[in-house]
Chains A and B, each alone.
Chain A
Amino acid sequence: MSAGADGVELRRAELAEAWRDPPGLWGFLVTVDHKRLAARYIVTTMFLLFLAGLLAMDMRIQLSAPGLHRMGPQLYNESFSLHGSTMLFLVSVPVMEAMALWLVPLMLGQRNMAFPRLAAFSYWLYLGGALMLWVPHALDITPDLGWFEYPPLSGPGYAPGHRVDIWAQMITFTEVAALAASVNIIATILKLRPPGMTLARMPLFLWAMLIASLMTIFALPAIMLTTSMLIADRLVATHFFSPSGGGDVLLFQHLYWFFGHPEVYIIFIPAVGFVSSIVETFSRRPIFGYPAMVLSVLAIGVLAFGLWVHHMFAVGLPRLGNDFYTAASMTIALPAGVQIFCWIATIFSGRPRMATPLLWVVGFLVTFVIGGMSGIMTASAPLDLQLTDTYFVVAHFHYVLVGGAIFPLLGAFCYWYPKATGRLMSERLGVLAFALIVGGFNIGFFPMHVLGLWGMPRRVYTYPAEMGWGPLNMLATIGSTIAVIGGLVFVANALWSYWRGERAGADPWGGHTLEWLCPSPPPSYNFDSTPTVRSITPLWEPELLAYDGIATTKRELLVTSVMEAEPIYRQNSVGPSIWPLVAAVAVSILFVGSIFTPWALVWGALPIAITLSLWFWPTRERAKTGPLRKR
């Protein structure tokens, strides 16, 4: 820990050595560097977004005129099933987790996540899930009953073969990966905060990830349970969902939506965190109404668990229940509305300047709120009886998911791209991509509200000419095409800027959170020293203070207390390891095998047990005493 310029260089060299990965392919397979893992996670999700987008274009072309025969019903049904399943299980939730994986340690001034190998395991298992869905597609056994395959249609009586099992098990993969990521994020945010960053001084993005991760823990077991029950009904003749055996098909729906509704907020809340970060930086002031913002996200996180029946208003449940869920579903508009006010108020009362990230925030506001409005409409049980299962609700959920999650995500890409790569994305291409995507999306999806009101149900591969739905469908196709072109422009911008973009320093936007302290791109060890914070806007303080003392010659993390972020101890941080990959392979074998036979649970458990034991095998010296001592 020597002072002076030489001291700084020595320190950095030591840190680089301690935190480096082995070179080449082996390094790629064993790395536990959160930035590298997050990068591949994001690239994978974006590739799957592209594939899901191709499916969407296929469907849009098929629907652009009545009675087209370009796609038959089987192919169309596979397309919407694959599109929905990919977007919800393989893109939306994973990309938010991936962004958190990249950003959380940086925003905390830390060198890595709490459980580095768990982060790697999460990625490999997620990749397994992506393969679980798309390899069967290449083999023409694509799941074809939607993204929430209700029994009995998905039960043993009406869905022979293994398509449903493939779908259900893909969910198991991705949900275990998501749960692993969530535990990691929660432990990191609660225990690895820099000294002085009390909960009340935490950036809103970290609040958002904390709450989204907690929601994940309580929501995802529901879908794992229900899809496992579905596989059991199909594989070993249980009767969970068969009425003739005393089961109930509604049990599937209740469990599914108990997960399904929080799931969309699990996607939305991190996006809310992106928006807050961007708004603060570009308004040059801390967010207006920080306590209201925190309470709003908490309220949304809690309320989200009390709404699921609004996906089942047409099922014939008792009226009083429907009334309750109408009121609850409308109530969630209040914290959402408060947040929207606070963001706009921040821009209004700050010293704002425009750049692409803020442009995406504007796109988010004008688009997502439309989705919020259609959400209020579908929240009403009696009105929903007309709107549900039509293109109105297709419009609604695309508005909230694309407007509420994808637009903030694209803004977040533009915002943190310079930190990750050391270069700025092109503003000109950025504005063009924005205009094409936001404009194209609205042209494409607004007409769908009208189509639903004109009686067009969802999940139909064609429709009769005499219904008059043709022109608006054609408009929807045109708009979607424009948006896709915009997406390609965005990707082109990202690729071009990687090599040719204007160089960015550590803090091109003048942000106030800790990630802007380290160089762009960050070195493997992120920070030279341990920053400490005294306010909600550390980098806007006149002077930044830091602690020394965390080891530079080995991997070490500072662990602090949950509430006050006082330093407690120094935790050894694990280095590169092959075990996450091996464990993921072992788990994948069990998951895939259990589609075909329940015995897979037995023989598949053995490799997992061995792998996990080796993973967690502590590396200390051999015992010097006792019957098994080193002799």
Chain B
Amino acid sequence: MGGTGSMRRGAALVPVMLLVGACSGVQSPLAPAGEQAADQLWLFQLMLWVCGILYLLVVGFLGLALVRVFRNTSRLAEPELAPADRTLDRSLLVWASIIIAGLTLLAGASFVVDRALAAAQAREALRVRVTAHQWWWRIAYRDPASGRWVETANELHLPAGRTARIELASADVIHSFWVPNVAGKMDVIPGRANAIDVTPHRLGWFRGQCAEFCGVQHAKMAFDVKVDTPAEFAAWLATQARSAAAPADPVAARGFQIVTQGQCAMCHVVRGTAAAGRPGPDLTHIASRRSIAAGILSMNRGNLQGWIAQPQALKPGTMMPAVTLEPGDADAVAHYLEQLK
């Protein structure tokens, strides 16, 4: 199915172009960046045509009937008890046949796309483990060099042109993993080992979001997705696999001390240091990420400090506790974290 993708993508884009108009396009199935999403969009366009034609037929017939209504006077006509309905009988059969034909076409197309989605499993070239938490994403890759699993959070990198098997696990309740530009969604269910195959083919940044109500901050459980060339991906993974950079200056050293020996260490990992807490996201390379707090704040110093000081103001209900620090300490922590690229 992959090769004919471009042909199918080109077909009947007019109605879709109208729709893509005002949206950002980074979290939309209408702007496919992956094989799966492309197949799904093709199916959607086919459905739009068939359903559109059926709808116009219904409205057209209704219009004809209403013409008769408005031609009538308002006088209450005598009822007709035994109308002759032969033409209508035949028309009903034709209509039923049209419906059957249309549904068969759409069901058939649906099966074809379903098979295409399933076929991706044979081409798996990479495994990624995604664990959904209330309300963030733990993402782990196997480092080719060492064989160990390397963790990051809230940012998924994928090599273009390769099929990745995303293995889904939940740490608590049901979530749903969804990167609409690349593929459809797959629920993340505790006690169940779900997986989804994704084959991105367009480079760039995209956005994923949790798509199953999972509690008070379901609305703010997003993640960034970067589709890299295979070489860029390998380089990125190699960087992620390294331990945390040592603090480069005294202020950072102060921050390092607070992070690895204070309460942060209870929930966060900074690899290569004493901070080895599992409940929260891995911070080893936090500065290399585009956003924090599960895709809701850009990664910059101000947001880091704001998040640490007042998480409840930014994401009410979050598990991240408010950490009260002296202003100098807060600066130091932010300074240190900024260096963890």
Asked whether any CB of chain B lies closer than 8 Å to the CB of A7, the reply is no
**Do A338 and B72 touch (CB < 8 A)?**
no
Query: Could you say which residues of chain A place their CB within 8 Å of the CB of B113?
Result: 380, 382-383
Asked whether any CB of chain A lies closer than 8 Å to the CB of B283, the reply is no
Q: Which one of B209-217, B240-248, B303-311 is at the interface?
A: B209-217
Query: Could you say which residues of chain B place their CB within 8 Å of the CB of A341?
Result: 61, 91-92, 95-96
Query: Could you say which residues of chain A place their CB within 8 Å of the CB of B255?
Result: none
**Do A468 and B69 touch (CB < 8 A)?**
no
Cα–Cα, bound, A349→B86 (Å): 11
Cα–Cα, bound, A356→B73 (Å): 16
CB distance from B202 to the nearest CB of A (A): 16
**Do A386 and B180 touch (CB < 8 A)?**
yes
**Do B189 and A249 touch (CB < 8 A)?**
yes
Our pick among A334, A345, A512 for the contact of B103 (Cβ within 8 Å) is: A334
Cα–Cα, bound, A153→B70 (Å): 55
Asked whether any CB of chain A lies closer than 8 Å to the CB of B232, the reply is no
Cα–Cα, bound, A223→B54 (Å): 35
Cα–Cα, bound, A311→B88 (Å): 36
Cα–Cα, bound, A453→B107 (Å): 21
Query: Could you say which residues of chain B place their CB within 8 Å of the CB of A471?
Result: 22
Within 8 A of B (CB), among A309-331: 314-316, 319, 322-323, 326-327, 330-331
**Do A365 and B114 touch (CB < 8 A)?**
no
Asked whether A74 and B29 contact (CB < 8 A) given A153-B213, A366-B62, A389-B212, the answer is no
**Do B96 and A334 touch (CB < 8 A)?**
yes
Query: Could you say which residues of chain A place their CB within 8 Å of the CB of B66?
Result: 347, 362
Q: Which one of A34-42, A203-211, A459-467 is at the interface?
A: A459-467
Q: Which one of B2-10, B40-48, B267-275 is at the interface?
A: B40-48
Query: Could you say which residues of chain A place their CB within 8 Å of the CB of B172?
Result: 152, 157-158
- A interface, how many residues as a size bin? 35 or more
CB distance from A52 to the nearest CB of B (A): 19
Asked whether any CB of chain A lies closer than 8 Å to the CB of B324, the reply is no
- B interface, how many residues as a size bin? 35 or more
**Do A459 and B96 touch (CB < 8 A)?**
no
Within 8 A of A (CB), among B185-236: 185-187, 189-192, 194-195, 207, 209-220
**Do B43 and A72 touch (CB < 8 A)?**
no
Asked whether any CB of chain A lies closer than 8 Å to the CB of B30, the reply is yes
Cα–Cα, bound, A581→B190 (Å): 44
Cα–Cα, bound, A450→B30 (Å): 10
Query: Could you say which residues of chain A place their CB within 8 Å of the CB of B118?
Result: 319
CB distance from B188 to the nearest CB of A (A): 9
Q: Which one of A283-291, A561-569, A609-617 is at the interface?
A: A283-291
Cα–Cα, bound, A335→B230 (Å): 51
Our pick among A153, A352, A383, A469 for the contact of B72 (Cβ within 8 Å) is: A352
Our pick among A144, A157, A285, A510 for the contact of B83 (Cβ within 8 Å) is: A285
Asked whether any CB of chain B lies closer than 8 Å to the CB of A17, the reply is no
Cα–Cα, bound, A334→B96 (Å): 7
CB distance from B189 to the nearest CB of A (A): 6
**Do A333 and B213 touch (CB < 8 A)?**
no
**Do A388 and B185 touch (CB < 8 A)?**
yes
Query: Could you say which residues of chain B place their CB within 8 Å of the CB of A386?
Result: 29, 37, 40, 44, 180, 184-185
Our pick among B85, B176, B296 for the contact of A464 (Cβ within 8 Å) is: B296
| Smallest Cβ-Cβ distance to A450: which chain B residue | B19
Asked whether any CB of chain A lies closer than 8 Å to the CB of B51, the reply is yes
Asked whether any CB of chain B lies closer than 8 Å to the CB of A377, the reply is yes
**Do A345 and B88 touch (CB < 8 A)?**
yes
Q: Which one of B74-82, B140-148, B152-160, B330-338 is at the interface?
A: B74-82
25 A-B contacts (beta carbon < 8 Å): A150-B173, A250-B192, A314-B176, A314-B212, A316-B195, A323-B110, A331-B103, A334-B96, A337-B96, A344-B61, A351-B72, A358-B69, A366-B59, A373-B52, A383-B113, A383-B184, A386-B184, A453-B30, A453-B44, A455-B23, A455-B209, A457-B178, A460-B218, A460-B219, A462-B220
* Interface residues of A, Cβ cutoff 8 Å to B: 72-74, 77, 144-146, 150, 152-153, 157-158, 243-244, 248-250, 284-286, 288-289, 292, 314-316, 319, 322-323, 326-327, 330-331, 333-334, 337-338, 340-342, 344-345, 347-354, 358, 362, 365-366, 369-370, 373, 376-377, 380-386, 388-390, 450, 453-455, 457-464, 466-469, 471-472, 510, 512, 535, 537, 540
| 9 residue pairs, one from A and one from B, having the closest CB atoms | A385-B184, A243-B191, A455-B27, A460-B219, A351-B77, A348-B65, A373-B51, A454-B23, A380-B110
